[in-house]
Amino acid sequence: MKKNSNGYTGLFIPGPTNIPDRVRQAMNVPMQDMRAPDFGELTLPLFADVKKVMRTTDAEVFMFPASGTGGWESCVSNLFSAGERVLISSFGQFSMLWVDMLERFGLDVEHCEVEWGLGVPHEDYRRILEADRDHKIRGVFACHNETATGVTSNISEIRAILDDLGHPALLCVDGISSLGCIDFRMDEWGVDVVVGGSQKGFMLPTGLAIVGVSQRALERRATANLPRTFLSFDDMMKANATGHFPYTPATQMFHGLRASLDMIFEEGLDNVVARHNRLASAVRAGVHAWGLNLCAKDPSLFSDTVSAIVVPEHVDGAEVLKNAYYRYNLSLGSGLTKVAGKVFRIGHLGDLNEIMVLQALAGSEMALRDSGANIELGSGVAAAQAMFIAENQQSIKKAA
């Protein structure tokens, strides 16, 4: 099957996301000297403004030329030692990969395996931490937004458990598909490490691992014995103090980040979060109008950045993706490992508006029908339209 080359392909995977023209144009600049004495005029404000997105005044921000996986690795290698005990749960592909990384580094991993579609098992965390009276557990890891299943977990509840038990473990969070989209409060929630990626809510190409580390966590560097060179916090901090880097940085990405942060602050971070919730609610309204369910088991877990949609038993989710891509120029997210062929995903994060959501729903409806799903064409689009119109009418009444 040959893809139609007219127009452009609608991108509704959960990352990389659409890059705004303003951001792309900002990156189209000549190369510059990253050792120049004034390079910090570009980079130092970026460190300060990324803190605002993380909602922290205390943390140190690192920007490595890597994907989010590099951010995970920086957290582990700089703050932990081989043989140390850590607690983590997996309930999707990406939380499962973080478990794999911890095990490869030789940590003693207390792994809570959870059904895909659920989130962080708070009761299990409490039970395990309460039994750890000698405080052998040095780190508690959690995925804020599991991209594979469209599940968002409550991170503040983990901090409440740690505080209630007086447990000193570091709280390390994967915020790759939540930062800049879903409400995240590093200082308020007592998060010690948050890992982000440029290709999600920051609306950039893949290539920057954006990591926030609390001052309490930074103290662990003195005792951590895992090897690190490229991802060394120490090397970064020395160079970053003047806005420079210990090796060649991704300079063009910094120009793009400047533009994306400006866009976030012009809209207002609270408004960005509210927009993501509104657009995600429209997607969910469309899915329910089709008579289908989300992979997330409970509305309290629904993600505002990605919806994993369970296809009917007789439908192959991979076929939905192929039909969407080749017949309708629409890129959707695939089901991964345990849910391969059972779900497809609509990413709704970053540079997104109402018309784009309707495009994703319309294309998905046609691809579902072509794949054998018995859904009413236009039903999902109509449900989302009705929601948008009702909200606009409410806004007009409030304004009056």
In this prediction, residue 58 carries a pLDDT of 93
- My answer on whether 256 and 275 are in the same domain is no
- My answer on whether 42 and 115 are in the same domain is yes
Domain extent, residue 289, equals 10-17+268-399
CB 329 within 8 A of CB 347: no
Rounded-to-integer distance, Cα 113 and Cα 377, Å:
38
Q: How many CB atoms lie within 10 A of CB 161?
A: 20
- My answer on whether 184 and 201 are in the same domain is yes
Q: Which residue has the tokens 């429209």?
A: 282
CATH code of the domain covering residue 118 = 3.40.640.10
Does residue 341 lie in a domain region?
A: yes
Rounded-to-integer distance, Cα 277 and Cα 174, Å:
20
Of 231, 265, 299, the domain-final residue: 265
The residue among 252, 250, 213 whose CA lies nearest residue 232 is: 213
CB 272 within 8 A of CB 180: yes
- My answer on whether 258 and 361 are in the same domain is no
Q: How many CB atoms lie within 10 A of CB 37?
A: 10
Number of domains in the chain: 2
Does residue 25 lie in a domain region?
A: no
In this prediction, residue 6 carries a pLDDT of 82
Q: How many CB atoms lie within 10 A of CB 174?
A: 28
- My answer on whether 300 and 342 are in the same domain is yes
Per-residue pLDDT band for 394 (boundaries 50, 70, 90) equals confident
pLDDT at 56 over 90: yes
Alpha helices in the chain (DSSP H): 21-27, 40-54, 68-79, 93-104, 122-131, 155-165, 215-218, 233-240, 251-267, 269-289, 317-328, 354-370, 379-399
Per-residue pLDDT band for 313 (boundaries 50, 70, 90) equals very high
- My answer on whether 313 and 228 are in the same domain is no
Please state whether beta strands 330-334 and 10-12 pair in parallel, antiparallel, or not at all (unpaired): parallel
Rounded-to-integer distance, Cα 67 and Cα 278, Å:
28
Q: Which residue has the tokens 């792309």?
A: 24
Phi/psi of residue 102, nearest 5 degrees: -60, -40
Does residue 254 lie in a domain region?
A: yes
Does residue 192 lie in a domain region?
A: yes
In this prediction, residue 326 carries a pLDDT of 96
Residue count of the chain: 400
In this prediction, residue 228 carries a pLDDT of 95
Rounded-to-integer distance, Cα 374 and Cα 94, Å:
31
187 beta partners: none
Q: What is the pLDDT of residues 147-174, one digit of tens each?
A: 999 999 999 999 999 999 999 999 999 9
In this prediction, residue 38 carries a pLDDT of 96
Torsion sign over Cα 95, 97, 102, 106? positive
65: preceding bond cis by omega (within 30 degrees): no
Of 211, 243, 265, the domain-final residue: 265
Q: What is the pLDDT of residues 22-41, one digit of tens each?
A: 999 999 999 999 999 999 99
Does residue 3 lie in a domain region?
A: no
Mean pLDDT of 88-103: 97
Tokens found for residue 302: 């629904």
In this prediction, residue 2 carries a pLDDT of 74
The residue among 275, 378, 299, 294 whose CA lies nearest residue 344 is: 294
CATH code of the domain covering residue 323 = 3.90.1150.10
Of 205, 234, 265, the domain-final residue: 265
pLDDT at 8 over 90: no
- My answer on whether 229 and 347 are in the same domain is no
Does residue 26 lie in a domain region?
A: no
- My answer on whether 157 and 199 are in the same domain is yes
Beta strand extents in 208-349 (DSSP E only): 209-213, 293-294, 306-310, 330-334, 343-347
Beta strand extents in 119-253 (DSSP E only): 137-143, 145-146, 151-152, 170-174, 193-197, 209-213
Q: How many CB atoms lie within 10 A of CB 336?
A: 19
Percent of the chain whose pLDDT exceeds 70? 100
Sequential DSSP letters for 337-351: GGGTTTEEEEE--SS
pLDDT at 3 over 90: no
Rounded-to-integer distance, Cα 74 and Cα 62, Å:
10
Q: What is the pLDDT of residues 257-281, one digit of tens each?
A: 999 999 999 999 999 999 999 999 9
- My answer on whether 354 and 385 are in the same domain is yes
Rounded-to-integer distance, Cα 105 and Cα 47, Å:
29
- My answer on whether 146 and 220 are in the same domain is yes
Does residue 72 lie in a domain region?
A: yes
- My answer on whether 162 and 242 are in the same domain is yes
Rounded-to-integer distance, Cα 24 and Cα 35, Å:
24
CB 193 within 8 A of CB 58: no
Percent of the chain whose pLDDT exceeds 90? 96
140 beta partners: 87, 171
Q: What is the pLDDT of residues 338-375, one digit of tens each?
A: 999 999 999 999 999 999 999 999 999 999 999 999 99
Per-residue pLDDT band for 1 (boundaries 50, 70, 90) equals confident
**How many distinct helices (H) and strands (E) make up the chain?**
13, 14
Mean pLDDT of the chain: 97
Per-residue pLDDT band for 112 (boundaries 50, 70, 90) equals very high
In this prediction, residue 129 carries a pLDDT of 98
Rounded-to-integer distance, Cα 338 and Cα 318, Å:
13
Mean pLDDT of 368-383: 98
Does residue 24 lie in a domain region?
A: no
Tokens found for residue 260: 């994306």
Q: What is the pLDDT of residues 195-253, one digit of tens each?
A: 999 999 999 999 999 999 999 999 999 999 999 999 999 999 999 999 999 999 999 99
Q: Which residue has the tokens 């039903």?
A: 379
In this prediction, residue 177 carries a pLDDT of 97
- My answer on whether 277 and 143 are in the same domain is no
CB 10 within 8 A of CB 330: yes
Please state whether beta strands 330-334 and 343-347 pair in parallel, antiparallel, or not at all (unpaired): antiparallel
In this prediction, residue 123 carries a pLDDT of 98
Tokens found for residue 386: 């009705």
